[in-house]
Amino acid sequence: MPVPPIPLGLGPHVDWTPVGTVVAFAGPTQSSQNLNIESYGWMVCDGRTLEVSQYPELFAMLGYWYGGSASNFQIPDYRGYFLRMVDLGSGNDPDASQRTPAAGGTAEGVGSVQLDAIQTHEHIYGQNTAGSAQAGGGAEALPTTTPTLTTSGPTSSLQPPGNVRVSQNETRARNVYVTYLIKYNSMR
């Protein structure tokens, strides 16, 4: 049996999505697109400051977790971030305790931030016999001795001339832009 359509235009109705829920929205949210996301009870997670009296349901869920005091509070600012679930003791985030806490939170809690990082790794290069050097394999030439090199991040002095970098500002997975929205009330 098909599900009947939800009647729109009949005034406010209850939306069963919990207040404080964050979703990835794949459509445009700019006013030039004539979409009014906020009329549906959602707003962009852009760190804005809100009045407690105007958004009591959202304040009841967030409090001052993301900042604010007295009659104002802030929503999360997820612009430019990848979201990662809280570790909850799983050990999948080995640096969980080094995260920067949200204004009202803890390092291992919701809203904490982790800066970019490159895992320590090694590059092992072949070693030529004393006094010999050969070009090939993309390198200009190998010096007579080439030890194993362990790095804790990019080392620009190790870049051979003419090497092309994929990115000079961050290490990241393939990604696509979305807008994170937060539900701010239960009525629409």
CA distances from 121 to 15, 16, 53, 114, 169 (A): 49, 47, 51, 20, 18
Residues 141 and 54 in one domain: no
What pLDDT does 26 receive?
86
Answer yes or no: do 49 and 134 share one domain: no
Pair 109, 32 in one domain = yes
Same domain membership, residue 64 and residue 35:
yes
Q: What is the DSSP letter of 108?
A: T
33 and 108 together in one domain: yes
> Do 82 and 32 fall into the same domain?
yes
- Rounded mean pLDDT of the chain? 77
Neighbours of 66 (CB within 10 A): 20
Examine the domain organization and report whether 77 and 125 are in the same domain.
no
- 138 shares a domain with 103: no
Q: Would you say residue 116 has pLDDT above 70?
A: yes
| pLDDT for 130 | 57
Overall pTM > 0.85 = no
Number of other residues whose CB lies within 10 A of the CB of residue 108 = 16
pLDDT at 164: 46
Strand, coil or helix: 138: coil
In a domain, 138, yes or no: yes
* pLDDT higher than 80, residue 65: yes
The segment with the largest mean pLDDT, out of 26-30, 43-47, 89-93, is 43-47
105 is in which domain, residue-wise?
Answer: 22-115+175-183
Greatest mean pLDDT range, 24-38, 122-136, 140-154:
24-38
The confidence score (pLDDT) of residue 177 equals 87
Domain count, the chain: 2
Q: pLDDT confidence of 174, banded at 50, 70, 90? A: confident
The reported pLDDT for the residue numbered 76 is 97
| Same domain flag for 103 and 126 | no
